[in-house]
Amino acid sequence: MRLLRFTSLFLGCGAIAAPLTVERIASASSIAGTAPSSPTWSPDSRRLAFMWSSEGEPRRGLWVADLAGGEPRQLIADEVTALVWAADGASLFFVSGGNIHRVSATGGPSVRLTSDGGDRSDLHLSPDGTTLSYLREGDLWLLPAAGGIPERVTHVAIPPIAAVPLGRYYHYDVEIGPPSWGEHPAAIWSAEGRYLAVHYVDRRGVRKVPFPWYLGDEPILNFLRRGAPGQANELRTIGILDVQTRQLRLLDLPDQTSSRVIEFSFSPKGPLLVDRQSDDCVNRVIQLADPATGTLREIWRDHGDRRIYNEVASTWAADGDGVLMTGDLDDRYRLYLLEPGKAPRALTRGPYDVEGKAIPVAATRSVVYVSSEPSPSERHVWRIPETGGEPVRLSAQPGQNTPFVSPDGSALALLHSDDRTPMQLQLDGRALTRPPPEFARQQWAAVRYATFPGPGGIPLHARILQPSKMDKSKKYPVLLGPVYINTVRNRWADRPLYGLLPQLLVQRGYLVVQIDMRGSTGYGREFREKFLMDWGGGDLDDLESAVAYLKSLPYVDGKRVGIFGSSYGGLLAVYSLFRKPGLFAAGVAGAPATEPRWFGSDDVAIARTPQAHPETFARGAARYASGLRDHLLILPCMADDVVPFKTSVDLAEELIKLGKDFDFVISPSATHAWDKRPDTAAYLFRKLVEHFDRHLGVK
């Protein structure tokens, strides 16, 4: 693999397009195109398959590119939701319309292997290439790769209790499947194909919470299994299926209702790696399981009282004996080699953070990984010898880079984005995907990065979007947003709220600014862990320092500064206007997480529990509502199960009792990710823009 260099394909602009509109940025057919997904190498390393829409539509078809060169070819135009290569690398299996199909890698008609539709997902092929595994209706199924009758090989599924299939917490009561929070495969094959390890979830012990639903013939209460900090969480463990006997054994892991599975994977030599972390992120344990007996052996344990959401990962080293582990054993996230009977040994160094799971490359006796080196705003791909050594950078283009290494280690594909480039797939220095032609005709914002002193002199970092032809003799209004942690990144965000909406606001005459507040990754453990139990506290001081910096710029109108965000960002907008009146002239809070008693089951990582820290859970926004002086717009979502609509209703009632003036705009069917549905996004974006135009004097 060599350093990948890439020349942008977006320079030939042609005629300038009309300015952005709310309707255009919210459209299902995105002006920025559709992000490619699931890049997957063929076993012989000659081809790369992926899912993508060349028209920018939300559905993705199936595409294949040859390493030797040429344009990628579309094999399937219909929506494809999963793919896996056949063992010979000459064809692919894929899921479309709920059915499994097979198609030649060179094109031609596909062959349908199932015909009953359904919700098939998590498609995998056995190591000998004879059997497909997949999930359906909460269970694991097997299907002969040559075609035949599907077999349901687990029988654990219990259907959801909910009547309306919406939201983060809509799941089967019991299933082989993913957790409510977190992402990893739900089923994997052992190297010799004798066993399948599966992720098992039992939610029957989680509290039933009623969520009113008004859009049917009659209002109903839609019940979901939803926990909160200090309440019972879902049970999560690993099961091992003996493929020959069809017997499923659940591992007797400790603390199954208070710990999540970070990773599980088979060694080429047999044992199953199980990496787990407590929901509060305080404890992490790595164990090995014997797939034949289920016997567990602990090989490493770690403890950290101040941890918050923790970005850790693990995988087997190429030799099948050691474990490559991403962890926070010192000030930074580093890559470690954990060998049997030895303490973890750091393979990376310096003031940088490793992100995600390492990729061992047996053919080159090396390890590929992603790191924030050389800048917290960047994510680059690096390679080191498998025993450690001097790193070599493999990605040349600034921005965010995610690697996909060919099986023989000779080639590298990248998912790349930056401030001016939506997510694209690159192979051997050429772009396989690109946004629609309309993208190149737009006047996109110029982006610059700045550092300024925060509370106590701690450096804070900003990402500033401004007009490409900025007139510095003018005074511009400023919007901080969407406010959140980890936003100062050289990337093009896929969601409209974070990607296209800031661009529209810049075209309307605003400067748009993001800040990496405490809690963000890339600046060391102390800065990251300041966030613990202090949301709506010290982070507001960080925002205040940002406003002071912006007011020092000669082209900023310090009297016209606003703030907006969603979820935690909505919390920041509300708490800023309540606790620091006058800092912002106006704020918009989407799906604001203003009541800690209703935080989600994963938020124990930042809030701990009301039993241990009652003072933390007494800091709901209503406590500070009397401080509101400025113009606040709240955008709650009535079908939101992450931040329940009830919390915004309670806050609105308190503001009314206090005689406060504010705006409250509801969306009846919107869930927490309200900007993902075009009609809801357009409606709420319009309200946001009108609010700021009215109160910050933009015409």
Quick one: pLDDT at residue 7?
42
Structure tokens at 402: 């995610």
Continuous H helices in 7-135:
22-26
Q: What would the pLDDT profile of 673-695 be if each residue is shown by its tens digit?
A: 999 999 999 999 999 999 999 99
Q: Using 50, 70 and 90 to split pLDDT, how confident is the model at 623?
A: very high
Residue 348 has pLDDT above 70, yes or no: yes
Per the model's pLDDT, the better-predicted residue between 429 and 315 turns out to be 315
Q: Pairing relation of β-strands 430-431 and 421-427?
A: antiparallel
Mean pLDDT of 580-594: 98
Structure tokens at 134: 């997949």
Quick one: pLDDT at residue 9?
43
Mean pLDDT of 358-383: 97
| Cα(499)–Cα(501) distance, integer angstroms | 6
**Residue 26 belongs to some domain of the structure:** no
Quick one: pLDDT at residue 14?
58
Residue 697 has pLDDT above 90, yes or no: no
Q: What would the pLDDT profile of 461-503 be if each residue is shown by its tens digit?
A: 999 999 999 999 999 999 999 999 999 999 999 999 999 999 9
Residue 185 has pLDDT above 90, yes or no: no
Eight-class DSSP state of 576: H
**Contact predicate 148/129, CB 8 Å:** no
Quick one: pLDDT at residue 388?
94
**Residue 221 belongs to some domain of the structure:** no
Is the pTM of the predicted complex or chain greater than 0.75? yes
**Cα-based distances in Å from 40 to 74, 177, 228, 502:** 15, 22, 37, 33
Quick one: pLDDT at residue 4?
52
Mean pLDDT of 199-221: 98
Q: What would the pLDDT profile of 286-340 be if each residue is shown by its tens digit?
A: 999 999 999 999 999 999 999 999 989 999 999 999 999 999 999 999 999 999 8
Residue 10 has pLDDT above 70, yes or no: no
**Residue 376 belongs to some domain of the structure:** no
| Cα(214)–Cα(209) distance, integer angstroms | 16
| Cα(169)–Cα(641) distance, integer angstroms | 7
Quick one: pLDDT at residue 698?
78
Quick one: pLDDT at residue 340?
85
Which range of residues forms the domain containing residue 486? 443-696
Sheet holding 663-664, edge to edge: 446-453, 459-466, 511-516, 476-480, 556-566, 586-590, 631-635, 663-664
**Contact predicate 50/423, CB 8 Å:** no
Residue 214 CA to chain centroid, in angstroms? 30
**Residue 300 belongs to some domain of the structure:** no
Q: Using 50, 70 and 90 to split pLDDT, how confident is the model at 11?
A: very low
Q: What are phi and psi of 227, to 5 degrees?
A: -95, 170
Average pLDDT score, the chain: 96
Eight-class DSSP state of 573: H
**Residue 573 belongs to some domain of the structure:** yes
Residue 522 is part of a domain; what is its CATH number?
Answer: 3.40.50.1820
Quick one: pLDDT at residue 391?
97
Residue 5 has pLDDT above 80, yes or no: no
CA angle 333, 460, 352 (to 5 degrees): 20
Total domain count, the chain? 1
Kindly give the interhelix angle for 568-579 and 538-551, rounded to the nearest 10 degrees: 80
Picking from 90, 197, 86, 106, the residue whose alpha carbon sits closest to that of residue 147 is 86
**Residue 618 belongs to some domain of the structure:** yes
Q: What would the pLDDT profile of 381-409 be if each residue is shown by its tens digit?
A: 999 999 999 999 999 999 999 999 999 99
Q: Using 50, 70 and 90 to split pLDDT, how confident is the model at 183?
A: confident
Residue 1 has pLDDT above 70, yes or no: no
Contacts for 494 with CB less than 8 Å, ≥ 6 apart: 32, 35, 422, 423
| Cα(217)–Cα(612) distance, integer angstroms | 44
Instruction: Kindly state the greatest CA–CA separation across the chain.
Output: 77
Percent of the chain surpassing pLDDT 90 = 96
Q: What would the pLDDT profile of 102-146 be if each residue is shown by its tens digit?
A: 999 999 999 999 999 999 999 999 999 999 999 999 999 999 999
| Cα(459)–Cα(98) distance, integer angstroms | 51
**Residue 169 belongs to some domain of the structure:** no
Residue 13 has pLDDT above 60, yes or no: no
**Residue 35 belongs to some domain of the structure:** no
Q: Pairing relation of β-strands 511-516 and 476-480?
A: parallel
